[in-house]
Amino acid sequence: MDKKYMMNTYSRFDVVFDKGIGTKVYDIHGKAYLDFVSGVAVNCLGHSHPAIAKTLAEQSQQLIHVSNLYWNTKQMALAEKLVLYSDHDQVFFCNSGTEAVETALKLARKYGKLKGGSNKHEIIYMDNSFHGRTMGALAVTGQEKYQKDFMPLMTGLKPVKFNDIEELKKSISENVCGVILEPIQGEGGIVPAQTDFLKEVSTLCKKYDALLIFDEVQCGIGRLGSLFAYQSFGVVPDVICMAKGLGGGFPIGAVLATEKAASAFVPGDHGCTFGGNPLACAVALTVLEELVDKGIVKEVDEKSLYLKEKLEGLVEKYYNIQAVQGIGLMLGIKMKGDPKPIVNKCFEKGLLLVGAGENVIRILPPLNVTKEEMDAAVDILEEVLWEIPLEDAKKA
């Protein structure tokens, strides 16, 4: 196997994985790693979950793809489930989070045109945000480092400081057709939205007849202790973008919308060749069954409390940790310096972690993680914190 055939788009760890079971992955030499990255919040049920494996085997022998020129039973069943579990009315299926964001942006633009003509086309996004890599999603990503080499991007956009309602009030107007934000900024450093801020955003969107779009790609599908992230804040958006955990490792994305928003689209406005294929939808139905019907989501708050207490115990011991932040099993350890040496050393010791923002270590275990596995992860992390030669790192 030669790495030279892959485009140089990722800074990868020096490891090749070929097997995963539960919360562990194994490299080609048989070394086990405790996975607290979960494919960046994708593997909500861990690796090789038997229910997902069973569904893949059965559905792949029945029907994989037929095109959206026709209906299929799994797609309709999944759409019904998502609507049943939410405060929304209709679904569009795609393959990824960035595709879901693209769909939401187009939906907002079309809605604005119907409501206010060509002038109602502006979209507000938050600084420090991340919404994806395609040109539209990149345009509403509030981090210049991702954008600078791909200018010029889509126009008609306004950045606003996250959690700053006064700045939003100054920016929103009748010309705004949509406001997009993450209930918890993931790539930006595990920064939760303030509930009061979300409520004010919702009020302003209603006042100016703009669509409120929640990007729940990373923070949704049970990760915060509720199936949808918005349910943890008590603010209902017009549009939800989702992907990652929805397929538990199999690619699927979706946009869930209220009738008010969804009705803007008509045949020909949008499409997706692979979106809503029977195989992906069958897997997503299985994931929802495990998370909701079998109670995994209900256990997230308890697990979060346990893990937070363990991590906060490290804050009391080490000067280089500022705080533990986040909600549910989407947590971050805010460091006083660059967390990369810690992440790298944890990797050497068999614990997979990932950074976020400038100085945060992300903690994203599978939602069915056990207390024993959380204990093992924190033990490795503390071992690394003790060994890393940072000046005045350890408290007396």
Task: Note the pLDDT tens digit of each residue in 131-142.
Answer: 999 999 999 999
The pLDDT value given to residue 15: 95
Paired strand residues for 32: 26
216-237 exposure pattern, b = at least 16 Cβ within 10 A, e = fewer: bbbbbbbbbbbbbbbbbbebbb
Instruction: Determine the average pLDDT of the residues in 235-264.
Output: 98
Q: Considering only 24-28, 59-63, 277-281, 392-396, which range has the smallest mean pLDDT?
A: 392-396
Show me where the domains of the chain are located: 3-48+297-387, 52-293
Identify the CA nearest to 102 among candidates 40, 154, 41, 175: 154
- Residue 142 has a CB neighbour count (10 Å cut-off) of 22
CATH class of segment(s) 3-48+297-387: alpha beta
pLDDT digits (tens, 9 = 90+) for 19-31: 999 999 999 999 9
pLDDT at 242 over 50: yes
Average pLDDT for the chain:
96
Instruction: Determine the average pLDDT of the residues in 97-122.
Output: 97
- Residue 282 has a CB neighbour count (10 Å cut-off) of 26
End-to-end C-alpha distance for the chain, whole angstroms: 49
pLDDT at 273 over 60: yes
Q: Are strands 184-185 and 191-192 parallel, antiparallel or unpaired?
A: antiparallel
pLDDT at 390 over 60: no
Share of the chain above pLDDT 70, in %: 98
CA dihedral of 277, 279, 284, 285, whole degrees rounded to 10? 100
pLDDT at 42 over 70: yes
Rounded Cα distance, 114 and 120, in Å: 9
**Angle at CA of residue 47, ends 43 and 50, nearest 5°:** 115
Instruction: Determine the average pLDDT of the residues in 188-209.
Output: 98
The pLDDT value given to residue 329: 98
CB 179 within 8 A of CB 123: yes
The pLDDT value given to residue 294: 97
Kindly state the DSSP code that residue 289 receives in the 8-state scheme: I
The pLDDT value given to residue 394: 53
pLDDT at 396 over 50: no
pLDDT digits (tens, 9 = 90+) for 110-127: 999 999 999 999 999 999
Place of tokens 């079971």: 21
Identify the CA nearest to 395 among candidates 321, 312, 311, 309: 321
CB 75 within 8 A of CB 276: yes
CB 150 within 8 A of CB 248: no
102: number of CA atoms within 13 Å, CB side?
18
Tokens encoding 266: 């008509």
pLDDT band at 388 (very low <50, low <70, confident <90, very high): confident
**Binding-site residues for N(2)-acetyl-L-ornithine, please?**
133
CB 216 within 8 A of CB 253: no
The pLDDT value given to residue 205: 98
Identify the CA nearest to 140 among candidates 115, 160, 121, 117: 160
**Binding-site residues, please?**
97-98, 130, 133, 215-218, 273
CB 89 within 8 A of CB 262: yes
pLDDT band at 392 (very low <50, low <70, confident <90, very high): very low
Greater pLDDT, 341 or 396: 341
pLDDT band at 378 (very low <50, low <70, confident <90, very high): very high
**Binding-site residues for pyridoxal 5'-phosphate, please?**
97-98, 130, 215-218, 273
The pLDDT value given to residue 265: 98
Query: Is 52-293 the same fold as 3-48+297-387?
Result: no
pLDDT digits (tens, 9 = 90+) for 330-360: 999 999 989 999 999 999 999 999 999 989 9
Rounded Cα distance, 76 and 71, in Å: 8
Place of tokens 């919702």: 202
Rounded Cα distance, 238 and 394, in Å: 47
CATH 3.40.640.10 fits 52-293, yes or no: yes
The residues, ordered by sequence, that sit 6+ positions from 379 with a Cβ below 8 Å of its Cβ are none
Instruction: Determine the average pLDDT of the residues in 50-75.
Output: 98
Share of the chain above pLDDT 90, in %: 94
Distance of CA 31 to the CA centre of its chain: 28
Q: Is 184 helix (H, G, I), strand (E, B) or coil?
A: strand
- Give phi and psi for 324, each to the nearest 5: -110, 130
The pLDDT value given to residue 79: 98
